[in-house]
Amino acid sequence: MLAEIITIGDEILIGQIVDTNSAWMAEKLNQQGIRIKQISSVSDDREHILKALAEAATRADIILITGGLGPTKDDITKKTLAEYFNVGMVMNDDALANVENIFKRYNRPLLDVNRKQAEVPANCEVIVNNNGTAPGMWFNEGGKVYVSMPGVPFEMKYMIEEAVIPKLKTTFKLPVIIHKTILTVGEGESFLAEKIADIEDSLPANIKLAYLPKMGQVRLRLSAYGENDAELQEQVDTYAHRLVERIGANVVALEDIPVEKVVLNYMAQRGLTLTAAESCTGGYISHLITQHPGSSQVFLGGAVSYAYELKESILGVKNETLWQTGAVSSETVKEMAEGALRNFKSDYAIAVTGIAGPGGGTDEKPVGTVWIAAANANKTLIKKFTFGNKRLQNIERSAVAAFFMLITLLRENEQ
């Protein structure tokens, strides 16, 4: 079963907003065994929309459309859909009642332009919008299903989950699809591919392996398609086990979560606490951790200490260490980590110091030189990394490397 997603709106094409809807819808549809054939963004232009709909119908069984359903003149999706299907517009009683209730709830006058939002193409089945005034529309024409939804993300998401997916399940016989994600850190995509080449070659036709690289990490995703849920799960588990066994210590999770969440989950389960001493990452490590709900159960806080004075006063780094070895050195990062451990009273600490760039490098310490430490009361791991000359990439890679070192230390403590 193939689907296509069309997002409508000039605001997307000029970069005023980012199209997050398509990625979210693609993930939800894929979970139901519906493969996305293409994703397109088109302008608020009648001819452009008509052409996109006609082309999508040649490629896909299901066409999902978002955007262009507001009350203003530039929102032309409904009228264009009516033209595409060669039907007129009608007032839908359910959609009108929904609009009236929303305006009554907020004690606001109902204008004619708002009433018009309840007008829909005559051949559609209305999907009532429980979170807004623009109704969704379901069309079943010529063996194809078209679904038009608001572009507002939270309105679209509720509509997809509460109405569209259940209706697709009853309309089509969807295949079973099972995904299994293996998160690896510290090994490049090409090295991983070479290491597991024979396992990948042995995969049956109904199981695909995808490499999803990101700074310092690679997600391996096994996707299996078929009819029998239990048989597919057994197949996927068998191949996942072989991959994990072959890759070894670079595997940090068997689910699709970010590396910092791996750390948080592991430490929360064991009642452990963490602090951070950051220099070149400028608080990025702390940001990654605290974006997750419940992070306070593990993360006590940390320090962003750029200047020598702050490294000394907050973390207890010795003055002679800084002046003799420099801020970017194994000695300094060791004292930063151990100072955070001691002064912030945590079970574990990570520290990062380096030259993020693009300036500040020397022949001895070029841009991209980063020292990272992970420490507990019994041991401090220290490692030097040499990244590239791109500042943001160096910061991201440093954070991932720090988390991987922390995971390594946590594992050692289990042994």
Per residue in 398-411, pLDDT (tens digit) is 999 999 999 999 99
> What is the model's pLDDT at position 284?
98
> Domains plus CATH for the chain?
2-171 (3.40.980.10), 176-253 (3.30.70.2860), 259-414 (3.90.950.20)
Q: Is 74 a residue whose pLDDT tops 80? A: no
CA atoms 38, 43, 48, 53: torsion sign: positive
Give Cα 78 distance to the centre of its chain.
31
pLDDT at 313: 97
Distance CA 337, CA 101 (A): 58
Q: pLDDT value at position 188?
A: 92
Angstrom distance (rounded) from CA 74 to CA 70? 8
Model confidence, pTM:
0.79
How far apart, in whole angstroms, are the C-alpha atoms of residue 27 and residue 29? 6
Region 154-176: what's the mean pLDDT? 93
Percent of the chain with pLDDT over 70: 100
Q: What is the pLDDT of residue 408?
A: 97
pLDDT for the residue numbered 288: 98
Where does the pLDDT of residue 109 fall: very low under 50, low under 70, confident under 90, or very high at 90 and above?
confident
pLDDT category at 111 given cuts 50, 70, 90 is confident
Contacts 24+ apart (CB under 8 A), 39-42: 39/4, 39/5, 39/6, 39/7, 40/4, 40/5, 40/6, 40/7, 41/6, 41/7, 41/8, 41/9, 41/12, 41/13, 42/6, 42/7, 42/8, 42/13
